[in-house]
Amino acid sequence: MHRIDCPWCGVRDEIEFAYRGDATVKRPEAGAGVDAFYAYVYERGNPRGWHIEWWHHAAGCRQWIKVLRHTLTHEIRATAKAGDTVTAPKP
C-alpha cells in the first residue's frame, strides 16, 4: 500500500485517496477543434518511470494533490498542492 503525504493532513494510507490521472496533460484551448479535444480525452501515453499524477484526498480533506510516482516501482518521491509545481527527476 502507498503512503501518500498530503500537504494538508500529513502522511496517510492510499485507501483515503482516489487516483485521477495524468497531471501533465493540458486541456486544449477553446476553439482548438474536435480532434484536439478527442486526443485530450481518449489518447494517453503509458509512461515508464517518474510520472506526475492527480490524486484526490477523498476520505480526508477532499483536496486535490499532485504526486510524483514511479510507474514501475510505485515509489512516491514528492507531493504538492494542486497549484504548486512538482518536477520529475532526470533519468
Q: What is the pLDDT of residues 5-36, one digit of tens each?
A: 999 999 999 999 999 999 988 899 999 999 99
pLDDT band at 90 (very low <50, low <70, confident <90, very high): low
Residue 88 has pLDDT above 90, yes or no: no
Q: What value, to the nearest 5°, has the Cα angle with vertex 46 and ends 45 and 49? A: 120
Whether the Cβ atoms of residue 20 and residue 55 lie closer than 8 Å to each other: yes
Give the model's pLDDT for residue 46. Answer: 86
Identity of residue 5: D
Grid cell digits, residue 45: 501515453
Kindly report the CATH class assigned to 3-81.
alpha beta
pLDDT level of residue 45 (50, 70, 90 thresholds): confident
Residue 6 bridge partners (DSSP): 10
**DSSP state, residue 35:** H
